[in-house]
């Protein structure tokens, strides 16, 4: 892998409070390909989640989700126990899961008080959940005076927290993007490996912006997201392959599996076409590829909803060269590319590639 794999400089700080920051991400293109061993092109954004950890006496972790005004506490080693509010859910599962999965990976979390806050909107498709998980892991490792796992194993650990603790069968796209971000660059990820290659995001004055559709997306256990994953597994079984990366055509598959596979195959091609268009400075082509990705996600993969269609339309009416649904789908944000002279529509937020997760 050409990207540095080592996570962070580690200088243990005994007895002091520590802070870790993990960015959210934008995925330029390559949607619903990560769990099919495919290609994607994300970048970390400036906004993210900050976790402050302060060593505490005893054998418990106390956590405070500042923006939500909610608290949780649990004994180390008893992460699955009931929360005061009943069965742990939502953000509490990330804290408990991170603690348990780190222990499983050989890093023994220590008693501490955690404060979680952030400026990445929740449920808007900018991957607040992976950012929470990455920031928690970095803070918990630092408090435990342990080096965090390298980037790929840490991304896998975060993915296990989402998969096994929250029930969302998400892939490696979000934690890898948060851990491997670089200012001014996106990263082409080939999930087979994974292999990561930085791609300079030379936009020649054009702007990338996200517009929240207002429909909160849900990737939890019984979501459409998990249903799509199951459809991909069913297509693999029908084709006699382990991964859709090995599929060459959707021919002969029953409907809707044929369309699901067609999306994955065409989206992988669009990722490399986008990398090439960026290299050639052809921003019109990047816009056209975003539009093509959106059509494929709407018609073949069927992850759009009316609020998202309206947000895409709003961006196009404001002069976007291309716009598409981003992230897991069924709501969340739209990503659009605007020419240099365009006025962003109300509510749209400019996004630029920022640095990776780190200790502050």
The catalytic residues are 174
Q: How far is the CB of 335 from ligand GLA (least distance, A)?
A: 12
Give the nearest distance from C-beta 34 to ligand GLA in angstroms: 5
Among 3, 7, 35, 296, binds ligand GLA (CB under 6 A): 35
Structure tokens at 231: 């459809």
CA distance from start to end of the chain: 26
- Least separation, in Å, of the C-beta of 163 and ligand GLA? 10
Residue 119 structure tokens: 């400026």
Piece in contact with ligand GLA (CB under 6 A), picked from 167-175, 235-243, 306-314, 315-323: 167-175
Contact status: 23 vs ligand GLA (CB under 6 A): no
Among residues 122 and 344, whose Cβ is nearest to ligand GLA? Answer: 122
Closer residue to ligand GLA (CB): 50 or 333: 333
Binds ligand GLA (CB under 6 A): choice among 38, 149, 322, 327: 327
146 lies in the binding site for ligand GLA (CB under 6 A): no
Q: Is 357 exposed, middle or buried (0-12, 13-18, 19+ CB in 10 A)?
A: buried
What is the residue whose two structure tokens read 């520590």? Answer: 18
Residue 171 contacts ligand GLA per CB under 6 A: yes
Task: List, edge to edge, every strand of the sheet that includes 70-75.
Answer: 70-75, 60-65, 112-118, 42-55, 18-27, 358-359
Q: Which is nearer to ligand GLA, 96 or 324 (CB)?
A: 324
CA angle 87, 93, 98 (to 5 degrees): 140
Q: How many helices (H) and strands (E) does the chain have?
A: 8, 13
In 3-state terms, what secondary structure has residue 288?
Answer: helix
Beta strands in 160-300 (DSSP E): 185-190, 195-200, 207-212
User: Considering the rule CB under 6 A, would residue 32 count as an interface residue with ligand GLA?
Assistant: yes
Both tokens of residue 157?
Answer: 């650990």
- Cβ at position 138, least distance to ligand GLA in Å: 19
Of the two residues 174 and 182, which places its CB atom closer to ligand GLA in the complex? 174
Nearest of 64, 34, 10, 9 to residue 244 by alpha carbon:
34
Please work out the total of residues on this chain that contact ligand GLA, with binding judged by CB under 6 A.
11
How do 112-118 and 42-55 pair as beta strands?
antiparallel
335 contacts ligand GLA (rule: CB under 6 A): no
**What is the rounded distance in angstroms from the CA atom of residue 123 to the CA atom of residue 258?**
29
Part of the chain binding ligand GLA (CB under 6 A), chosen from 13-21, 32-40, 64-72, 349-357: 32-40
Stretch 104-133: interaction string toward ligand GLA, x if CB under 6 A: -----------------------x------
- Is residue 148 a contact point for ligand GLA (CB under 6 A)? no
Binding stretches for ligand GLA (CB under 6 A): 31-32, 34-35, 127, 170-171, 173-174, 327-328
């Amino acid at each position: 892998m050409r990207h540095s794999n080592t996570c962070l400089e580690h200088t243990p700080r005994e007895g002091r409070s520590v802070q870790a920051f993990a960015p959210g991400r934008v995925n330029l293109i390559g949607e619903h390909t990560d769990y099919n061993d495919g290609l994607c092109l994300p970048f970390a954004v400036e906004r993210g989640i900050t976790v402050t950890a302060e060593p505490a006496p005893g054998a418990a972790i106390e956590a405070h989700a500042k923006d939500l005004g909610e608290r949780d506490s649990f004994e180390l080693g008893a992460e699955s126990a009931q929360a005061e509010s009943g069965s742990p859910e939502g953000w509490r599962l990330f804290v408990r899961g991170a603690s348990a999965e780190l222990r499983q990976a050989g890093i023994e979390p220590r008693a501490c008080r955690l404060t979680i806050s952030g400026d990445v909107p929740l449920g808007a498709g900018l991957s607040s959940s992976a950012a929470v998980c990455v920031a928690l892991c970095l803070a918990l490792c630092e408090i435990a005076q342990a080096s965090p796992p390298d980037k790929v194993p840490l991304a896998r650990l975060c993915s296990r927290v989402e998969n096994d603790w929250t029930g969302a069968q998400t892939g490696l796209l979000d934690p890898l993007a948060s851990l491997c971000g670089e200012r001014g660059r996106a990263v082409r990820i080939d999930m087979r490996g994974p292999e990561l290659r930085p791609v300079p995001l030379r936009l020649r004055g054009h702007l990338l912006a996200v517009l929240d559709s207002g429909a909160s997306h849900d990737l939890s256990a019984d979501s459409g997201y998990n249903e799509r994953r199951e459809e991909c597994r069913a297509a693999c079984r029908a084709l006699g392959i382990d991964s859709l990366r090995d599929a060459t055509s959707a021919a002969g598959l029953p409907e809707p599996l044929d369309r699901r596979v067609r999306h994955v195959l065409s989206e992988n091609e669009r990722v490399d076409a986008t990398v090439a268009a960026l290299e050639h400075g052809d921003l019109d082509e990047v816009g056209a590829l975003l539009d093509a990705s959106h059509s494929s996600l709407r018609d073949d993969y069927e992850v759009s909803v009316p609020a998202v269609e309206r947000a895409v339309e709003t961006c196009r009416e404001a002069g976007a060269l291309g716009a598409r649904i981003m992230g897991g789908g069924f709501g969340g944000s739209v990503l659009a590319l605007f020419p240099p002279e365009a006025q962003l529509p109300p509510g749209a937020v400019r996004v630029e590639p920022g640095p990776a997760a780190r200790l502050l």
